[in-house]
Structure 1
Amino acid sequence: MKFEKIKYIERKTGEIKEEKVMGEGALKFLYYNPFGSLLLNTVVKRKFLSEIYGKKMNKPESKMKIAGFIKEMNIDMNDYARDINEYKSFNDFFYRELKTGARTIDRTESVLVSPADGKILAYENLKEKDKFFVKGSEFTLEEFFSDKELAKKYEDGTFVIVRLAPADYHRFHFPAAGKISETKKIKGYYYSVSTHAIKRNFRIFCENKREYAILSTKKFGDIAMIDVGATMVGSIVQTYKENSFVEKGDEKGYFLFGGSTCILVFEKDKIQVDEDIIENTKNGIETRIYMGEKIAHEKK
């Protein structure tokens, strides 16, 4: 498979843009070179490497990296609650909080919103995934959930992927109001979830460390919310109260350093994803969205 720059559609303007990827050279080596692949599958995917780097990003001296990262990734700090000098480490900056009102949450009851800032892909049926990913990447919901009953429940349902790049806001939220369950953790590896990686191997979502909870809603059925760790993501931190009622837009948790992914899985015929997102996915391109922005509505 040929290495290509990651392109996406900026939803607000309709422009096709090229993503600025942190460590793109390393990703190219690991996922498009046989020697890199060997290193990836023997060392890089292991927990210890991500833990070591995560601890390094927690040290006070790591805050020296913040200014350069902001400049390189063109991050608009006007959206965030704290000034650059107020962060105690790079990780403290990485899971930074938004200013109040920095994101507009669509409060319409029949509307489902994005749980995070990122690039989105949506499949009304998982069988359609081969239009974007390499054919033959074996993926089953049973393996993904590590649960046969859940796999049956969501069979032929809608599958939504929101990919967070390292430059994105790394807290994630609830896409609708409802009762949220406890978190279940599934052990796994720490492969990158960059488009470079998942285009070659969709099974990464079955192999990486992940956590899931079920959000029971009136309008959209039971939504499976899966938070997926990745290379250099030392931890997934859940900040919500288990088995409680939550409002749309409430914080669910955050990722520590690295790129990460939020996945939403819906029961069959419960939602209708916005046409532009579906069309872009069919054309093999992600759509840039923001937390609180409408991505779907209740299916009548």
Structure 2
Amino acid sequence: MTIRGLASALWQQEDLNFLLTNRIPRAALTRFMGWFSKIEQPLIRDLSIRCWRLFSDLDLSEARKTSFKSLHDCFTRELRAGLRPFDPDPSVVASPCDAIIGAFGPVEDGKLFQVKGAPYSLLDLLGDPALVDAHRNGRFITLRLTSSMYHRFHAPHDCRIEQVTFIHGDTWNVNPIALKRIERLFCKNERAVLRTRLASGEALTLVPVAAILVASIRLHFLELVLNAGTRGPTDFPCSVNVQKGDELGWFEHGSTIIVLAPDHFEFCDTVQESARIRAGQPLMSKPPRP
């Protein structure tokens, strides 16, 4: 097969993947999955987990439990103690989750990228001009969780969580195939904006973005689940001090976290696009100020 023929075949395969995972009733399927995954009937539970393992690289050898009440219980599994140590260096911002690294780099006057050549604005993502100003020329990194990964996320540094804002939206798939086809995808999906501040006063912001089959984000420090059924206020002021590595919450399937940091933070050498990273491993470092 020629290079052109191979490229055409791959593109057709991507088109099929996009159609199967996006051109469907996304919201209805997501609501159904939320209900179905919580069924505790043993036969349904076992068949669901077996199918999941058949079509993914799901590895449960690190899980704290060896049996699960439901598919949801398996999605949100804890790991055995000590398996995700967080880098103790106080200058290091660690990865909040297990992930595949996506786009990363400098924010350019309020503009960042979901993939190369596909920009979107911080204002569209965050919805708050004051927070945009804090990150206008900072650093960003995109962390994508696949369905089979460990789904819990943690504090990347010692910090104080000052506010959570929930933004209603769609549930597009967030895989690379969709990111190449849907402009400003992260700004269209449901997401939470976690505003945190380091002891130095600098802003460090986490944006967990929901996706198809996922759209529920559990935040332990608020004892709150955010999803399409969330009603009432969408801004949740708080003042919660957390230590690096503290568990903040979970996704109910797998999705994306965008990390926004100050402009003088530097990416660690291990940060490479498409590389896998584990919760606790170095993501960025804060160089000493002269």
**TM-score, normalised to structure 1's length?**
0.79
Asked whether the equivalents of residues 236 and 253 of structure 1 are also in contact (C-alpha less than 8 Å), the reply is yes
**What percent identity do the matched residue pairs reach?**
25
Question: Would the alpha carbon gap of residues 163 and 2 (structure 1) be closer, same or farther in structure 2, given more than 3 Å must change?
Answer: farther
| Structure 2, gaps ≥5 residues long | 1-6, 223-237
Q: What is the RMSD of the two structures over their aligned residues, measured on CA atoms?
A: 2.7
1:230-249 matches, within 5 Å, as 230-241=211-222, 242-249=238-245
- In the alignment, which residue of structure 1 is the partner of 2:142? 161
Which residue of the other structure, out of 113, 127, 131, is the alignment partner of 1:146?
127
| Structure 1 residue ranges (4+ consecutive) displaced by more than 6 angstroms after TM superposition | none
1:200-219 matches, within 5 Å, as 200-201=181-182, 203-218=184-199
- In the alignment, which residue of structure 2 is the partner of 1:95? 76
State how far apart, in whole Å, the 1-side matches of 2:201 and 2:62 are. 30
1:1-300 matches, within 5 Å, as 4=10, 28-29=15-16, 31=18, 36=19, 40=22, 43-45=24-26, 47-60=27-40, 61-83=44-66, 86-121=67-102, 123-127=104-108, 133=115, 135=117, 137-201=118-182, 203-218=184-199, 221-241=202-222, 242-257=238-253, 259-269=254-264, 271-277=265-271, 280-281=272-273, 286-300=274-288
State how far apart, in whole Å, the 1-side matches of 2:103 and 2:204 are. 14
**TM-score, normalised to structure 2's length?**
0.81
Question: Would the alpha carbon gap of residues 107 and 152 (structure 1) be closer, same or farther in structure 2, given more than 3 Å must change?
Answer: same
Q: What amino acid sits opposite 1:52 in the alignment?
A: F
| Per-residue deviation, 1:232 | 0.8
Question: Would the alpha carbon gap of residues 50 and 254 (structure 1) be closer, same or farther in structure 2, given more than 3 Å must change?
Answer: same
Asked whether the equivalents of residues 63 and 88 of structure 1 are also in contact (C-alpha less than 8 Å), the reply is no
Question: Would the alpha carbon gap of residues 122 and 272 (structure 1) be closer, same or farther in structure 2, given more than 3 Å must change?
Answer: farther
Question: Would the alpha carbon gap of residues 59 and 201 (structure 1) be closer, same or farther in structure 2, given more than 3 Å must change?
Answer: same
State how far apart, in whole Å, the 2-side matches of 1:168 and 1:4 are. 25
Post-superposition CA distance 1:46-105 (Å, at most 9, x none)? x3321112211111223422134235433332211000xx31111110110011011121
| Per-residue deviation, 1:134 | 5.2
State how far apart, in whole Å, the 1-side matches of 2:199 and 2:206 are. 16
Question: Would the alpha carbon gap of residues 120 and 2 (structure 1) be closer, same or farther in structure 2, given more than 3 Å must change?
Answer: farther
State how far apart, in whole Å, the 2-side matches of 1:219 and 1:28 are. 47
**How many residue pairs were aligned?**
262
| Structure 1, gaps ≥5 residues long | 6-23
Post-superposition CA distance 1:117-137 (Å, at most 9, x none)? 01113533135966x8253x3
Asked whether the equivalents of residues 219 and 298 of structure 1 are also in contact (C-alpha less than 8 Å), the reply is no
Question: Would the alpha carbon gap of residues 247 and 151 (structure 1) be closer, same or farther in structure 2, given more than 3 Å must change?
Answer: same
SS in 2 for 1:193: coil
| Per-residue deviation, 1:200 | 3.0
